[in-house]
């Protein structure tokens, strides 16, 4: 059974050069850290992410 989830920003389309990566115990925590990373590193507004974007990002969260 996996004990952690990770998200690597470079897996996201258009973010191939970003070294950002987050690891956390729960998917909820990964989402929070992803959103924070997006704001700080990319100036994005997670509040404006639509369902399609969230579905896509969700597929990039891997269990480790």
Question: Which residues bind to Zn ion, rule: CB under 5 A?
Answer: 9, 18, 20, 41
Distance CA 17, CA 45 (A): 20
CB closer to Zn ion, 36 vs 41 = 41
CB of 17 to Zn ion, least distance (A): 9
Q: How far is the CB of 1 from Zn ion (least distance, A)?
A: 29
8: buried, middle or exposed (CB in 10 Å: 19+, 13-18, 0-12)?
middle
| Shortest spacing between CB 9 and Zn ion, in angstroms | 3
Distance CA 44, CA 21 (A): 16
Nearer to Zn ion by Cβ, of 1 and 21: the residue is 21
């Amino acid at each position: 059974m996996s004990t952690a989830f990770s998200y690597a920003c470079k897996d996201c389309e258009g973010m191939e050069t970003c070294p950002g990566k987050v690891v956390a115990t729960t998917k909820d925590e990964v989402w929070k850290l992803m959103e924070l990373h997006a704001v700080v590193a990319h100036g994005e507004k997670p509040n404006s992410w639509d369902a399609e974007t969230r579905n896509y990002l969700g597929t990039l969260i891997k269990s480790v």
